[in-house]
Structure 1
Amino acid sequence: MLGDKLVKTTLQGVIDDLLSKHALKGYGEFVDFLENNAAIVAEIHDAAKSDCNVHFIQSMQDGWYCIDQGDDCYKVYHQERGCLGWGQKLVEGKCKAITEVLEASCYLSI
């Protein structure tokens, strides 16, 4: 906290902090780390709420999406002006889907 104002953590800040603190070096390591840290998954979701580029709830905003389709399957896609941007992919597993959307949106480079 700075003075009386709350400091919001950015999505990029959360990812950078994870990579520096835990020395995660690859896609698989990042997925495994998320699978074993539900609090970090929640932190990523919270940070994304104030981000304009990664979304976990379907809307009309431009950006990258990771949308739960049920049965542990997630649709990862880019949307621009309300239309599908650069294709979509179905990903099995919540943590793998989160990693996919973070990598596709260039927040995660490992």
Structure 2
Amino acid sequence: METTDLEKYLQSAIAEHLDGDASRFEELWERVPGFGQTIRGLTRDIGDVQWKSRTQDGWYCVDTGSGHDVYHQERGIVSGRRTFASEAAAGTYFLRVLGYLR
């Protein structure tokens, strides 16, 4: 199976900025300028990933103003909603659930 651009970027960032320690992944949001924006752009390319509330099926990581909600939506039914205080925590959880971060 071919490695996606998202996987390549994550592997590179972890190796370069965290000495290969993926358990410190949340640190990348502070260490790497524009990291969150890059992640949002690369996840849009994999499909079924949304960063704003919509009516489409798929996974969501949405800024609520007071935190970030991560959930799956299918046919208008939301499941597995989890709320996080920061985009870094939400993004880390989100990427783990999708299998891009181990």
Q: TM-score interval w.r.t. the shorter chain?
A: 0.7 to 0.9
CA contact (8 A) 1:54 1:101 kept: no
Tell me the TM-score normalized by structure 2.
0.78
User: Relative to total residues, which structure has the larger helix share, 1 or 2?
Assistant: 2
Identity across the alignment (%): 29
Q: Is 1:10 aligned with 2:14?
A: no
* TM-fit CA distance, 1:92: 0.4
* TM-fit CA distance, 1:63: 2.4
Unaligned segments of structure 1, at least 5 residues: 1-8
Cα distance change, pair 82–12 in 1 and its aligned pair in 2 (3 A): farther
Unaligned segments of structure 2, at least 5 residues: none
CA contact (8 A) 1:53 1:105 kept: no
Counterpart for residue 21 of structure 2: 24
User: Highest relative contact order (Cα 8 Å, sep 6+), 1 or 2?
Assistant: 1
Q: Considering only aligned residues, what root-mean-square deviation do their CA atoms show, in Å?
A: 2.0
Greater Rg over alpha carbons, structure: 1
> How many equivalent residue pairs?
97
Cα distance change, pair 10–82 in 1 and its aligned pair in 2 (3 A): farther
